[in-house]
Chain A
């Protein structure tokens, strides 16, 4: 026990001894991991939503411009 304590204070080592200890966190694992998982999902949504919105808008506008160009024949007068 003493050796373990010395080892821990000697270097900033990982607190948990095993993957199982990390997942269960002495009974608090479910709370901690749920909090981190939901936060990750919310952050991913907030980051990806505007990227998708921007992409969707540009693709739609590109199609619209192509249609307008097609409707006005080969001339480029339709473009503003």
Chain B
């Protein structure tokens, strides 16, 4: 167990193992996404109230779920970096921020496009939507803060503090549809009690949620690998990799 954590702190080991994982995970993820999208778009019946616009659910909900999970990951990695000064946690945190921002953007954009035929408007300053917009700004804030510092260690600490403070937004996002009167519908999938979504729509949605989690993992690993190389530019293992590259 401990040897695993020791290995996790070793950049060349992490670079190599993430390469092996990606070789399998990335094609499987793309395949699962293709199956999920085809299933949701072509082989499900339309919603009896919303018609075909509901098909946006197959990207909107997975993107929102993963955007929130990504924030947990980023904040926890930040905390690990602050407490134990683990460099790889800092790499993970920096890698998670742009990916989380992209998934939050997808959730907001698809929500706006879904809102137009359903609510008659692209945007409302509603509790759920506004708190998701704040999540996007938190992610972008972490990206910008990293770039603002020359000293990478100070940047890591500042970003860790920012992401931990931003954690207060997460329960607000989850509970916003219950605490405030909202145009946004409450959750359709429930871990406790019956889900308010038909199983013919639920299965492709669950597949898409799992695929988006895998996609987030792939993006995170790809970003971590690029970051690791830059941070370890002066080491022998990175130079060895570079010397094997053909320049075109």
Binding site for B on A (CB under 8 A): 12-16, 22, 25-29, 31-32, 34-36, 38-39, 42-43, 45-47, 49-51, 53-55, 57-59, 61-63, 65, 79-80
Q: Is B130 an interface residue (CB 8 A)?
A: no
Offer 17 A-B interface pairs, CB within 8 angstroms, sorted by A. A13-B43, A15-B42, A25-B51, A25-B53, A31-B117, A32-B41, A34-B113, A36-B37, A42-B106, A43-B215, A51-B222, A58-B241, A59-B247, A61-B239, A62-B242, A62-B245, A80-B234
Does B242 lie within 8 Å of A32, measured CB to CB? Answer: no
Secondary structure class of chain A's binding surface, majority of residues: helix
Find the A residue at minimum CB distance from B33: A43
Does A54 lie within 8 Å of B226, measured CB to CB? Answer: yes
Does B247 lie within 8 Å of A63, measured CB to CB? Answer: yes
Does B247 lie within 8 Å of A42, measured CB to CB? Answer: no
Select the stretch in B72-80, B97-105, B151-159, B176-184 that faces chain A: B97-105
A-B contact count (CB 8 A): 114
Does A61 lie within 8 Å of B42, measured CB to CB? Answer: no
Contact of A50 among B106, B215, B226 (CB under 8 A): B226
Find the B residue at minimum CB distance from A36: B59
- State whether A14 and B56 are in contact (beta carbons under 8 Å apart), knowing that A50-B223, A57-B230, A58-B242 are contacts in the complex: no
Per-residue CB proximity of B109-135 to A under 8 Å, as 1/0? 110011011000000000000000000
Q: Is B162 an interface residue (CB 8 A)?
A: no
Does A32 lie within 8 Å of B53, measured CB to CB? Answer: yes
Q: How far is the CA of A65 from the CA of B245 in the complex (A)?
A: 11
